[in-house]
Amino acid sequence: MHLDKFIPIFQDLLQRDEPVFATDTLADMEEWDSLAIMALIAWFDKNCNLHLTFPDCKALRTVADVAALAKIRA
């Protein structure tokens, strides 16, 4: 999957009206909370067979980091 396809999926997981960019810092997004992290974990598990943990996700800094974790190409 390419990054430009992942971005709207990530935006949807965050339930966010405003656009999301690869350079956005997760900590600056009010939607990036524990429920969003759990939704992200479930999405990666279902769609990428990738079993992330909560600490894995808390360590991420930017949207690009999320994509990189799933080996999503820029």
What's the min distance (Å) between Cβ of 57 and another protein?
A: 17
Name which of 33 and 45 has its Cβ closer to another protein: 33
Mark 29-46 as b/e (b = at least 16 C-beta within 10 Å).
Answer: eeebeeebbeebbebbee
Output 30 or 71, the one with its CB closest to another protein. 30
Structure tokens at 8: 């709207």
Binding site for another protein (CB under 8 A): 15-17, 31, 33, 35
C-alpha 39/C-alpha 14 separation (Å) is 8
Of 4 and 33, CB closest to another protein: 33
